[in-house]
């Protein structure tokens, strides 16, 4: 039993208690944020902002620049998404769940490519191309940037990006030594799958009426 525990959590022996507690708090609020997103609830943003703010601090401290940029971007897009979700598009309705248009798909592709270039420049500047993790970080950063933008726009396709990014992040964060965060992404994967079908049901219901 102790061998299993050490396999998953031995690395935390070198972490400070406050950092471990902060990671757990960030994970809890991260779960709440994704759960509220599945429910199409506005609380997705304030809970997400708490989680990402904590992760920005921790990831900066741990010198994980790609992950830090992802969470910093999440925080900014949460403010933007909070505004969009509450903004009335006419006299009675707020922004509703919808599918991406051709124009939005082009914008999403631009965000993806631009993110790859940006992360490449940052990693090159700080000499972070030390192993395969940097390449995986670059790819997941681009995926999550697009996913967060689509979620802020309340586009159903955001879940597809989350699913792919979450699946990659499970072993990636475990390899980096952040077991709690790895478990978080495992949970995120399942919630994202259910979230996609929940939003799809909502969208079909809206279109039928």
Q: Which of 63-67, 68-72, 120-124 has the lowest mean pLDDT?
A: 63-67
Phi, psi at 16, each rounded to 5°: -75, 155
The pTM (predicted TM-score) of the whole model is 0.88
Phi, psi at 126, each rounded to 5°: -100, 10
> DSSP label at 100?
P
Structure confidence by residue, pLDDT tens digits, 134-161: 899 999 999 999 999 999 999 999 999 9
Distances (CA, A) of 20 to 54, 80, 149, 164, 208: 11, 30, 29, 27, 48
| Residue whose entry in the numeric block shows the structure tokens 């909502």 | 202
Question: Could you give the CA distance from residue 148 to residue 155 in angstroms, rounded to a whole number?
Answer: 10
User: What is the SS3 string spanning 16-68?
Assistant: CHHHHHHHHHHHHHHHHHHHHHHCCCCCHHHHHHHHHHHHHHHHHHCCCHHHH
Distances (CA, A) of 178 to 9, 117, 142, 186: 8, 26, 21, 13
* Local confidence band at 209 (pLDDT 50, 70, 90 cut-offs): low
Question: Could you give the CA distance from residue 31 to residue 8 in angstroms, rounded to a whole number?
Answer: 20
Does position 37 have pLDDT exceeding 90, yes or no? yes
Question: Could you give the CA distance from residue 45 to residue 88 in angstroms, rounded to a whole number?
Answer: 17
Does position 90 have pLDDT exceeding 60, yes or no? no
Spell 23-33 as b/e; 16+ CB within 10 A means b.
beebbebbbbb
- Residue 186: helix, strand or coil by DSSP? helix
Q: Which of 21-30, 46-55, 59-68, 176-185 has the lowest mean pLDDT?
A: 59-68
């Amino acid at each position: 039993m102790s061998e299993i525990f050490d396999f998953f959590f031995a690395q935390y022996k070198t972490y400070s208690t406050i950092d471990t507690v902060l990671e757990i708090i960030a994970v809890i609020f991260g779960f709440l944020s994704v759960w509220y997103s599945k429910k199409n609830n506005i609380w997705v943003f304030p809970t997400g902002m708490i989680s990402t703010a904590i992760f920005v601090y921790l990831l900066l401290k741990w010198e994980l620049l790609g992950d830090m940029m992802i969470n910093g971007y999440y925080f900014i897009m949460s403010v933007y998404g909070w505004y969009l979700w509450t903004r009335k598009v006419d006299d009675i309705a707020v922004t509703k769940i919808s599918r991406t248009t051709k124009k939005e798909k082009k914008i999403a592709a631009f965000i993806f490519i631009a993110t790859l270039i940006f992360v490449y420049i940052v990693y090159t500047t700080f000499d972070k191309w030390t192993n395969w993790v940097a390449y995986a970080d670059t790819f997941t950063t681009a995926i999550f940037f697009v996913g967060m933008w689509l979620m802020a726009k309340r586009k159903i396709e955001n879940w597809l990006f989350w699913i792919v990014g979450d699946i990659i992040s499970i072993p990636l964060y475990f390899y980096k030594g952040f077991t709690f965060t790895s478990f978080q992404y495992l949970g995120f994967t399942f919630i994202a799958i259910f979230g996609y079908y929940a939003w799809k049901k909502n969208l079909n219901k809206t279109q039928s009426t």
